[in-house]
Amino acid sequence: MDKIRVIIADDHELVRDGLRRILEAVEDIDCVGVAENGLKATKLAQELLPDVALVDVAMPEMDGIEATKKIKHVSPNTAVLVVSAYDYEHFVLACLEAGADGYVLKADMPAGSLINAIRMVHEGVSVYGREPSKLMRKLASAKGKKVIGPSELGSRELEVLGLAAKGMSNKQIATELGISDQTVGTHFANMFRKMKVQSRMEAVLSAIEKGWIVVGKP
């Protein structure tokens, strides 16, 4: 069984050690590195190409928001899960705009929930400590980014995008549409190129902004 390779970035030693101990006790997860700031986390991500990066928001030298951007740049396949002590909406939105795949609160995150969140972002499912549709609508309305029209996307690509907006992972989308995981990944790659975006989240947000997708629609 391939383990989920995770790095941890937090400026508090007790938190880093606590998170590492939690992960080391889980059979399908391997903690491959720790960092005390965003700059070192970015270097670790570039060197190790982990599956998931757990990133704090408030860190010295480089904060978690900037670190998320850098990690996504040097290791595009790494899912970034922000684990923060701050329940401020502007932090949540800034992290999502930076490319984070999830944002959860330390206070609301018992060990079992954290493990599940890691598994979910690894599978391509976005995870939030807040009600997601409200956040997505707000972020989409604030972006003001000009994107292509839906006619530029194929019907299958629009189907994939719609299912992604419902929180489905690549595997779940593949099962729903009767196609392979690899084909789903190819559809996303094509959509990213056409829409000039770099992540599932950005593609979904752009689609919501333009009215292609209605959040909460069956």
Q: What is the pLDDT of residues 166-193, one digit of tens each?
A: 778 888 899 999 998 888 888 888 888 8
Position with higher pLDDT, 133 vs 102: 102
CATH of 4-130, one of 3.40.50.150, 3.10.105.10, 3.40.50.620, 3.40.50.2300: 3.40.50.2300
Question: What does the alpha-carbon distance between residue 31 and residue 6 come to, in Å, rounded to a whole number?
Answer: 5
- Sorted by sequence, the CB contacts under 8 Å of residue 30 that are 6+ apart come out as 3, 4, 5, 6, 23
Question: Same CATH topology for 4-130 and 139-209?
Answer: no
Q: What is the pLDDT of residues 14-52, one digit of tens each?
A: 989 999 999 999 999 999 999 999 999 999 999 999 999
Query: What kind and span of H or E run contains 131?
Result: none
Give me the numbers of helices (H) and strands (E) for the chain, helices first please.
10, 6
Q: What is 139-209's CATH topology?
A: Arc Repressor Mutant, subunit A (1.10.10)
* Domain boundary assignment for the chain: 4-130, 139-209
3-class SS of residue 1: coil
Show the tokens assigned to 3: 């383990």
Q: Give the relative orientation of helices 64-74 and 89-98 as an angle to the nearest 10 degrees.
A: 20
Q: Is the pLDDT of residue 103 over 80?
A: yes
